[in-house]
Structure 1
């Protein structure tokens, strides 16, 4: 790699010494560095294992060691000579501290494995796993060759009614209806020979549709007594830690979600996925994963008064980990099923659910460090390439190697790859923050690992962000969704990016990305607006996915019942304690739609837009009406429209005639007094 130590040192504010054989002849320099106690960054991931071993073997080593890849991401490219700003940025980001630890979710597995599928395939899988795991088979047909004559594992049979759970806590529910008791069966095969219809398979199940009730099988099985047609079907259940499903997934989908539960493996009966089988062998013991999310119910726009408004997180979750709890006016997230993709946090309009590891604030610091260091080193038009740390990172590495072999151009000098836990774990707030920090483009690289709803969610959020930027006068395409499955496809797409330019703010922002989504959005919008080429008063936004907007009220229909005020989770709709008014603060509105579904008069509609005038943060009156005064004492106790509407609806009712109808025009106190006075007058008359 052509590395310029002076350029890199100037950008990092330190003097650099470059080592070309640090993992071999110059290993002593590494050992000396890790004895200093200062954090050490090794810009080589190829020999990560070797450096880790050296660190363990070095006496007095006390430094924290971090690794960063500057080779495939920058040094192995036709643009390598001009990639020093990018390499400096990657090195600077590698110096950042690790994100603070978060609470964890614990899984406990004793190795109880359930294998579902054809008996022959299930037994082959069990022979590969049974020395480590406690295997139980659930037969689903004999397969091409049937089961082995020797029964080495417990076998269940019947109709599967349910399978749910996760690693360490799967529950199987089934109906045992087979006349053959597999625990008593000795696999002597006498029943197969005796059956005239050949209704019994080598899985020792009887096909009831083929069987003609000759019961010859019962006669030949008298010694073992394994066959009993009078046995009633029995509903059973059992728990397992792991599940290996070898059934035809198209015919019998147990789990339909894109992200399968941890501990559940779905393979073809050919067992050609060796890594999955090896992983199964390792899943015995206690395991932890981060609790990836934080949830604040008071910010949630899901429901109020058992009325549903926003379902964004439920609809996008690929693990089916999020469900509705309308009675408690909130959502529920199952941390055991959550895979940490962060899609829910990206589409949440209020920030009620946030990504906990790494936090949005951690990602903001990283992006800001990358972009500021890149700019200090003289870099121009930086592009953040966000990719997953699994297939996305592997694809970037493959492109770097192809470039080294002169088969590809490689990652352009202005494209800075950034690995994320998942590509949808950051969204509108962090994207716009990155543009404010100086990024010319934010590109999200997707592969075949993303769920379809993730891609749709990214498109919707990007459409909103791009509309805002273009509406402020920033020309070009600042946010782009890029899909690639091969290094060649990625290479072509990145070269196309290098030929485009976008209009960005003249000065980089200095604010810090907050953990609260709306706070970051406000800071980013303020900076972008301050430097906007054409500052507008408002920007019309796409109807789908907009977290900003206004509400329109039909004043002829609205009775000022204020049901919408109690339903609004963001305090965007408010009443006036002094006057019958419906007021609105547009800055608070998240366009959840709860006001629309709650309004009994269907008087409210949403208007997705971004208002950028000072009025956005001020309360304005959407509707008002004169108060209705009590006909007895003159005290206002309601609105004129509401009381008139009530009188109009009840005037024809038999219970509200004469004095009863007149009492509807009174306040609560006068209504009680009037009823009491009428009762006393009636008693006096009777006397």
Structure 2
């Protein structure tokens, strides 16, 4: 299979790389398939419309233009190679439910279809009680004269649809497009409905899964459908890929990086970013139609097409910023909660370090024009390192540490949806029980056995608060929330508490911290004071404690027998 093809009926007025097959005759390609094409008319794995957008609008020199066209094909191929968005299909029958309260809407829809197109049912929206399931398997519970009746259908057409219908896949509102468009979509779905896996999930670092209390469920909160649901009793998340729109909003608010965007994960972002060294990246989500967009791309601007518009977080932004050495333009008419927070945080950091914004957001064509005029390189900002296997927070920490260097740039406040923080421990009340370490699944809190210390790397802390609610000591552990300190110490392990080890009074083996033993002795000492052996057992290890207790028992027994004689 030929990898790259460029198709244009009018041909090209400049040469491009020999690695790209160029044709103006689509007929000769009917039986051929390709990896990357500039056109959806070609049978290919991935069509990259940003190629024509670049060719039409760039002001690059001819030599750079030739190099960059090939680079755009290679970028698309890299995204394809690293994508984990597996395709699935689901059977969809002809059973269709039409929901409307207006007779004219009903008549209009009926007039557009044939009798054998669908097995049609029609109801008034006033009797609907609930809708569940997904396309191909929808359950609609209606009130039939006081009794609940379940209608099982494959798809729903609902004029002026309420949110309960739009939450599930398989509900279509003609008023959001047109009756003709909806009917075409319904027919295309029958017998072969395809969908993709848009998210991957690592529950080992999820800050909701398995926790005793709910401290995070951001992904479920921002999901616009029922693709993510939670069970607060079992503390588990459920993912329905068929209901997922692929927007990626859950990815940008996930504090630990437990969720990744399957079409373009962290590894993919890193590999793609390598192509943008010494260029100005222009991020363009798929929903932003650029087919007819005419925009002056000054020299050095190279588009980066992405599928979803909401998955980019502070780690992915900083990766692309440092790998390009330039400001970024983000052309999108909508910013997700997570991406918006991330952009503001990174921009605040860049303002403190470089006195300029990192990310120039353009929400319309006028703003895009302004951003393209303003975008510039950021002197001494390029940085590359091998970030394979690192988690989201670790990548951001390492990159931010390089950016800060030895400077002290003050504090940046984090936001409503993206949190950082700093754990503070009252050493006088901390017994180094290490419950907090066990509760931290991002590695911010660690125990160092070499010097018996509790340590914190604040740059990894998500400010989730699970260590705070897990700590058994009173007035011991608190969190200073929503800050990033832009100074070298923020990235280093700092000692929160330290203690000596206590040696067993019987065998001399060190078995606990001195503070822990003193605390237990203070609590139990008055109770055990009537028995010197029990009182001594408070200072014994687990091996010696039963020994001295049993020895005391036998000594007393023998003494009793001797007295009886």
Task: Tell me how far 1:476 sits from its aligned partner.
Answer: 0.7
Conserved 8 A contact 2:94-2:118: yes
Alignment partners' CA distance in 2, 1:301 and 1:656? 42
Q: Choose 1 or 2 for highest CA Rg.
A: 1
The alpha-carbon distance between structure 1 residues 614 and 104, as it changes in their structure 2 partners (threshold 3 A), is same
Which one of the candidate residues 428, 449, 467 is aligned to 2:348? 467
TM-score, structure 1 as length reference: 0.66
Which one of the candidate residues 159, 169, 178 is aligned to 1:262? 169
Alignment partners' CA distance in 2, 1:139 and 1:329? 38
- Does 1:92 find its partner at 2:71? yes
Counterpart position of 1:243: 156
Alignment RMSD, CA only?
A: 4.2
- Does 1:444 find its partner at 2:425? no
Alignment partners' CA distance in 1, 2:444 and 2:177? 57
Greater alpha carbon shift after TM alignment, 541-550 vs 420-429: 541-550
Conserved 8 A contact 1:73-1:411: no
Residue 319 of structure 2: SS of its match in structure 1?
helix
Residue 136 of structure 1: SS of its match in structure 2?
strand
Which one of the candidate residues 265, 282, 287 is aligned to 1:385? 282
Task: Tell me how far 1:160 sits from its aligned partner.
Answer: 3.2
Which one of the candidate residues 483, 492, 504 is aligned to 2:363? 483
Alignment partners' CA distance in 2, 1:74 and 1:65? 16
Unaligned stretches of 5+ in structure 2?
Answer: 1-5, 39-47
Conserved 8 A contact 1:437-1:510: yes
The alpha-carbon distance between structure 1 residues 416 and 615, as it changes in their structure 2 partners (threshold 3 A), is closer
Counterpart position of 1:117: 100
- Does 1:426 find its partner at 2:312? yes
Task: Tell me how far 1:164 sits from its aligned partner.
Answer: 1.1
- Does 1:536 find its partner at 2:407? yes
Residue 668 of structure 1: SS of its match in structure 2?
coil
Conserved 8 A contact 2:397-2:460: no
Task: Tell me how far 1:497 sits from its aligned partner.
Answer: 2.2
Residue 418 of structure 1: SS of its match in structure 2?
strand
Conserved 8 A contact 1:440-1:503: yes
Conserved 8 A contact 1:168-1:242: yes
Conserved 8 A contact 1:107-1:286: yes
Task: Tell me how far 1:461 sits from its aligned partner.
Answer: 0.7
Which of structure 1's runs of 4+ aligned residues deviate more than 6 A?
81-84, 326-329
Counterpart position of 2:436: 564
Counterpart position of 2:542: 668
Conserved 8 A contact 2:329-2:372: no
Counterpart position of 1:458: 339
Conserved 8 A contact 1:70-1:87: no
The alpha-carbon distance between structure 1 residues 346 and 264, as it changes in their structure 2 partners (threshold 3 A), is same
Alignment partners' CA distance in 1, 2:398 and 2:22? 32
TM-score, structure 2 as length reference: 0.79
Query: When the two structures are aligned, how many residues end up with a matched partner?
Result: 533
Cα deviation per residue 1:392-411 (whole Å; 9 max; x = unaligned)? 1x2x44441xxxxxxxx755
More relative contact order, 1 or 2 (CA 8 Å, 6+ apart): 1
Cα deviation per residue 1:91-143 (whole Å; 9 max; x = unaligned)? 421244261364333322112212223273446535544532222223346xx
Conserved 8 A contact 2:273-2:324: no
Conserved 8 A contact 2:253-2:337: no
Task: Tell me how far 1:611 sits from its aligned partner.
Answer: 6.3
Task: Tell me how far 1:465 sits from its aligned partner.
Answer: 1.8
Which one of the candidate residues 491, 502, 523 is aligned to 1:616? 491
Counterpart position of 2:29: 55
Residue pairs, 1:594-633, within 5 angstroms: 594-601=466-473, 602-606=476-480, 608-609=483-484, 613=488, 616=491, 619-630=493-504
